[in-house]
Amino acid sequence: MLQIGQIAPDFKLVDQNGKEHKLSDYRGKKVVLYFYPKDNTPGCSKQACGFNELHNSFVEKNAVVLGVSKDSLTSHERFSNKYSLSFPILSDESLEVCNLYDVYKEKKNYGKTYMGIVRTTYVIDENGIIISAKEKVSTSANPAETLEALE
């Protein structure tokens, strides 16, 4: 996991609408970069809807929310439309950014070991420095806790 005080690695990914996003495009704003395992699953949907409900509060704090998973652009488009998400969902099918941010790791579920995205949220300041890093976050509490981290 990347550490607080570290410079956040720059990246370039495409969102559900085909628009390219680079972390460096957001200099001067805070960035909430949250990684989640899979579109349209109960936990991931709850987390995305939580960020969506608080979207205006993030904007008021000069922050943008960016969700990232390894799902396809088509999957992201369906997910975004289903929940009327007001923020970009970025596709990292190659796992390049997930690996840069150290969120693609070995996981265990019901005794089975596999590789997957560990639900992780980073808050990056206006200068590209990580100011908050949380791993294995609660899907329901994460959006509000992240908003508080911007205080």
Q: Which residue has the tokens 């996981």?
A: 107
Distance CA 139, CA 16 (A): 21
Which two tokens mark 100?
Answer: 């840069």
Q: Is 44 a catalytic residue?
A: yes
Distance CA 82, CA 104 (A): 26
What does DSSP assign to residue 25? G
Catalytic residue among 23, 32, 33, 44: 44
| Catalytic positions | 44
